[in-house]
Chain A
Amino acid sequence: KAGVTQTPRYLIKTRGQQVTLSCSPISGHRSVSWYQQTPGQGLQFLFEYFSETQRNKGNFPGRFSGRQFSNSRSEMNVSTLELGDSALYLCASSPMTVNTEAFFGQGTRLTVV
């Protein structure tokens, strides 16, 4: 079974630009969560999608958004990039039920200059 695939792996953007990150979950998994990982803040929950609906959202500004498609693939978008958005963005997929273990992708390393 293929794992969670995130693209691209690395990205360099300029302040003020926007960026879209993609995540393909494990086949059959309908829940996709996004996390931001930084040295200063650690792993922070961004949002979770299940069956194309956002079910939970972390404490991030509205510049961070996401969506999920009918095939469970998910994208997250960050608009008006700031230097502080530089981070490793991790996507995780889970089976249908809550409180199950998550399977993570290798992440997208975003650098904002």
Chain B
Amino acid sequence: AQKVTQAQTEISVVEKEDVTLDCVYETRDTTYYLFWYKQPPSGELVFLIRRNSFDEQNEISGRYSWNFQKSTSSFNFTITASQVVDSAVYFCALSEAGARKSTFGDGTTLTVKP
């Protein structure tokens, strides 16, 4: 069975600080996909990134970066120079190959204070 663990329930930082959100996953499949979503107060989940299990290259997109390490089954997300608008709940999700559903972690609530 697949499982996603986001051990950090809540994180609070001051604007301009860097923050890393942790995600650890479990799966027996060798082919799978990992996702990060952001849920602002308005409710809808916003897709941030998708990574497949064969691509361990880290990715940077503006202030966002992702560190995927199969050896530790982790897919961590770092926000550099955080801003108040980054305040949201962030979800990590796992989808096994061919699956038509994603398993989500419990989410990390990030609060960025001015």
Contacts and interface: CB of A to CB of B under 8 A. Distances in A.
Given A99-B33, A102-B47, A48 B100 contact: yes
B84 to A, nearest CB: 21
Nearest to B32: A99
B98 A100 contact: no
Interface class of chain A by DSSP: strand
Contacts of A88: 43
Interface residues of A, number: 27
A101 B33 CA distance: 10
Contacts of B61: none
A106 interface: yes
Contacts of B64: none
B16 interface: no
A103 interface: yes
Given A42-B107, A99-B33, A100-B50, A107 B102 contact: no
A107 B44 CA distance: 7
B13 interface: no
A2 B107 CA distance: 27
B47 A101 contact: yes
Interface of B: 33, 35, 37, 42-47, 50, 52, 91, 95, 97-107
15 contacts: A33-B100, A42-B104, A43-B104, A45-B101, A48-B100, A90-B45, A92-B45, A98-B97, A98-B98, A98-B100, A99-B33, A99-B99, A102-B102, A104-B44, A104-B46
Identify the 10 closest CB pairs spanning chains A and B, nearest first: A43-B104, A104-B45, A56-B100, A101-B47, A45-B101, A106-B44, A48-B100, A106-B43, A42-B106, A107-B43
